[in-house]
Amino acid sequence: MARRKKIYEGKAKTLYEGPEPGTIVQYFKDDATAFNAEKKAVIEGKGVLNNLLSEYFMLGLTNIGVPNHFLKRLNMREQLVRSCEIVPLEVIVRNYAAGSMAKRLGIEEGTQLPRPIVEYCYKDDKLGDPLVTEEHIAAFGWASPQDMDDILSLALRVNDFLSGVMYGVGIKLVDFKIEIGRVYEGDFQRLIVADEISPDSCRLWDIETGQKLDKDVFRRDLGSLTDAYTEVAKRLGVMPKTS
Ligand code: C5P
């Protein structure tokens, strides 16, 4: 029985038409992918954890005035979000060297960066989301210079908020990725944080032990991804009900 119209199916989420115009239902799947979907698995419970964690982070952002797409959680797998046009960029903020930047620049993973570094990748799975500069973004019209000011400001505010929240529960925010949506309000457009914020899109290391509590556990076969995400959810007091 078709409940509603599917708008888009991505690697970790499916989007359905929402109950009101301008809304979307975001369904969190248990699918995990890495290396541009070369590595795949179904991790039971991941969707539930990411739904709850993304709700927690988005509500926190709303509380400090950072505009985002989250409206409300509908159930353990779904949340209602504002419909928006996704800017075709992945916005990455790094506090410590890791992953692709550590490799690209030959910096040891874990090295603290002199200041947060913001990078942009062009969202295109076929191309493997290549790193681009603001020159490419302006020349190809993916975002205007004014948009880029707003995107930088959103990214740094999210970084301050997330770093603080994670530090409070003994976790280092190494880096993360956000996506940005464009919404129209009358004659104006506004940029908001969209997609999800979860251990799928962040690097989170335990401050004491260095233990990885994010998707690198799956990428690098370091143990149970569910255990890692559950640990993050437990520390933040965001746990699925077991009964
Ligand atoms: O792989 P890389 O080091 O560039 O990733 C930086 C950060 O962005 C990591 O936290 C990673 O989980 C996130 N990311 C993501 N989706 C991508 C690429 C990176 O969530 N497609």
Residues 157 and 92 in one domain: yes
Reported ipTM? 0.98
103 & 206 share domain: yes
Closest CA to 51 of 24, 72, 20, 23: 72
With a pLDDT cut of 90, the percent of the chain lying above it is 95
Q: What is the three-class DSSP state of 127? A: helix
Compute, in angstroms, the gap from residue 92 CA to the centroid of ligand 1. 7
Which residue, of 82, 97, 113, is where some domain finishes?
Answer: 82
In a domain, 66, yes or no: yes
* DSSP H or E run through 149: helix 145-168
C-beta of 212 in contact with ligand 1 (< 6 A): no
Write down the pLDDT at residue 240. 78
CA of 6 to the centre of ligand 1 (A): 26
Consecutive H or E run containing 9 = strand 6-9
pLDDT tens-digit series, residues 23-52 = 999 999 999 999 989 999 999 999 999 999
What confidence tens digit (pLDDT) does each residue in 105-115 have? Answer: 999 999 999 99
187 Cα: distance to centroid of ligand 1 (angstroms): 34
- 25: Cβ contacts below 8 Å, ≥ 6 apart: 4, 15, 16, 17, 18, 19, 74, 78, 79, 80, 81
Residue 243 lies in a domain: no
CATH assignment at residue 214: 3.30.470.20
> Is 153 a member of any domain?
yes
Count: domains in the chain: 2
Q: Do 155 and 192 fall within a single domain?
A: yes
Detail the DSSP E strand segments found in 39-96. 39-42, 70-73, 78-82, 85-86, 89-96
**54 shares its domain with 138:** no
Whether the CB of 176 sits within 6 Å of ligand 1: yes
**Which pLDDT score is estimated for 133?**
98
92 and 34 co-located in one domain? no
- The pLDDT of residue 232 is 98
Q: Which of 36, 53, 82 is the last residue of a domain?
A: 82
pLDDT in tens, 5-28: 999 999 999 999 999 999 999 999
Q: Separation of 115 CA from ligand 1 center, angstroms?
A: 18
Q: Is the CB of 90 under 6 A from ligand 1?
A: yes
The whole-angstrom separation of Cα 218 and Cα 34 is 8
Asked whether residue 202 falls in the same domain as residue 103, the answer is yes
Is 202's C-beta closer than 6 angstroms to any atom of ligand 1?
A: yes
How do residues 120-144 score in pLDDT, each as one tens digit? 999 999 999 999 999 999 999 999 9
For the CA of 175, the closest atom of ligand 1 is 10
Query: Based on the domain organization, do 116 and 11 belong to the same domain?
Result: no
Residues 126 and 232 in one domain: yes
Q: Which of 66, 82, 98 is the last residue of a domain?
A: 82
Q: With a 6 A CB cut-off, is 34 part of the ligand 1 pocket?
A: no
d(CA 49, CA 32): 13
33 C-alpha to ligand 1 centroid (Å): 12
Q: Do 139 and 217 share a domain, yes or no?
A: yes
Ligand 1 contacts CB of residue 177 (under 6 A): yes
The distance from CA 125 to its chain's CA centroid, rounded to whole angstroms, is 16
Q: Ligand 1 mean position to 243 CA, how many Å?
A: 34
Residue 1's pLDDT band (cuts 50, 70, 90): very low
Q: Are residues 57 and 89 in the same domain?
A: no
Q: Which of 201, 227, 199 is nearest to 214 (CA)?
A: 199
Report in angstroms the alpha-carbon separations of 241 from 30, 52, 76, 168: 17, 11, 9, 23
Is 242 inside any structural domain?
A: no
Residue 124 domain-assigned? yes
Q: Which domain holds residue 55?
A: 6-82
Q: Are residues 112 and 229 in the same domain?
A: yes
**233 Cβ inside 6 Å of ligand 1:** no
